[in-house]
Amino acid sequence: MTSSVTVRVPAKVNVQLAVGGVRPDGFHDLANVFLAVGLYDEVTVTPADALRVTCSGPDAAQVPLDTSNLAARAALALAARHGRDAGVHIHIDKDIPVAGGMAGGSADGAGALLACDTLWGTGATREELLDICAELGSDVPFSLVGGAALGRGRGEILTPLTVGGTFHWVFAVADGGLSTPAVYAECDRLRAASGTGATSADVPDPEPSPALLDALRTGDADALAAAVTNDLQMAAVSLRPSLTATLDAGTGAGALAAMVSGSGPTTAFLVEDEAAARKVAAALQASGTCRAVRVTAGPVPGAVTLPAEGATT
Ligand SMILES: C[C@@](CO)(OP(=O)(O)O)[C@H](O)COP(=O)(O)OP(=O)(O)OC[C@H]1O[C@@H](n2ccc(N)nc2=O)[C@H](O)[C@@H]1O
Ligand SMILES: Nc1ncnc2c1ncn2[C@@H]1O[C@H](COP(=O)(O)OP(=O)(O)O)[C@@H](O)[C@H]1O
């Protein structure tokens, strides 16, 4: 009998985040180009009498352990669909910054869903898993599939993208998080204040950039750097003006592109190669403008079940 299942799930960066007007349901239509990068949470599920969540890692204290945790919600959603009890202990070994615009909660939701499906032998189809992911949150389907993808709708309708190489990144982790709804609301406020209006009737439909998709396809870091955009960046910086100094520090150290990761406040720096990554990371660390610095690359695969401990391959 399977005693526990562990799933590893990556963080993401948005290389393009084009935000349309606010919809009647409060969400924004997006052209959201996701790239999965090699910072991971690991979600382990073990049979238990009742649903319970624990978390370890440097940011563990900021993670809710009640049923608002996306991993708990994923287990409950799968159990409800299959008419079974959700008695399971979910442990999250968290390495993805919390509330940092890198989809850590979404990663845990996708990871718990896949892990519970395996533990319980539910046999859910990929489509069913993606459906549940979309119910849990706009970014959760991408956490399951990983790689690179264009997200339309509120980000949940995915088209996989071909990437012709590996892109190197440095991430500067900020002190504290930013609330995603607050950043979208600030984007609307700034748009309304500038006179353009903030609704779907006022803002053009968001479209993926052909130059950006081309840069991904060819694996050209310089071309990607020239094409990256994030419509939430101005709002994140408005709420957290100190991010400007972090962005400037990375640019000054030779990053090809400097941007806010999603809704922030993590900042993302695209660099030429591993040597450039080390240089930019050292400069960011020395600048005193961020709490921690992480070096990684992408694309990487989405949620993956790890071999059971002691298993031979
Ligand atoms: C901004 C992005 C970019 O990938 O991620 P983060 O940078 O926060 O990780 C996403 O759009 C975040 O997706 P996710 O965190 O799953 O959001 P959800 O739980 O679905 O929604 C939380 C809230 O964000 C706002 N929201 C989210 C998605 C969207 N397309 N429009 C929105 O306006 C709404 O206020 C919503 O109530
Ligand atoms: N498993 C989880 N890990 C982290 N945060 C979670 C989790 N489940 C729910 N949350 C909540 O979601 C919020 C956003 O967290 P996170 O997904 O890490 O950031 P972001 O949406 O910026 O990518 C957190 O402040 C926390 O309250």
pLDDT tens per residue, range 50-86: 999 999 999 999 999 999 999 999 999 999 999 999 9
99 marked ligand binding residue = yes
Does the Cβ of 14 fall within 6 Å of ligand 1?
Answer: yes
Do residues 244 and 218 touch, judged by C-beta distance below 8 A? no
**Domain locations in the chain as residue ranges:** 5-161, 167-298
Q: Which long-range contacts (CB under 8 A, 24 or more apart) does 253-258 make?
A: 253/279, 253/280, 253/282, 253/283, 253/284, 254/279, 254/280, 255/170, 255/280, 256/221, 256/222, 256/224, 256/225, 257/224, 257/225, 257/226, 257/228
Separation of CA 280 and ligand 1 centre (Å): 29
Instruction: Name the residue at shortest CA distance from atom 26 of ligand 2.
Output: 63
Mean pLDDT of the 77-99 span? 97
Give the three-class secondary structure for 138: coil
Does the Cβ of 138 fall within 6 Å of ligand 1?
Answer: yes
Which ligand has an atom closest to residue 43 CA?
Answer: 2
Does the Cβ of 41 fall within 6 Å of ligand 2?
Answer: no
Q: Does the domain at residues 167-298 carry the CATH identifier 1.10.540.10?
A: no
In CATH terms, 5-161 corresponds, of 3.40.50.10490, 3.30.230.10, 1.25.40.340, 3.40.50.720, to 3.30.230.10
pLDDT digits (tens, 9 = 90+) for 123-151: 999 999 999 999 999 999 999 999 999 99
ipTM: 0.98
pLDDT digits (tens, 9 = 90+) for 218-255: 999 999 999 999 999 999 999 999 999 999 999 999 99
User: Are β-strands 88-93 and 167-173 bridged in parallel, bridged antiparallel, or unpaired?
Assistant: unpaired
What does the pLDDT read at residue 198?
A: 86
Active site amino acids = 12, 139
Separation of CA 102 and ligand 2 centre (Å): 9
Separation of CA 170 and ligand 1 centre (Å): 23
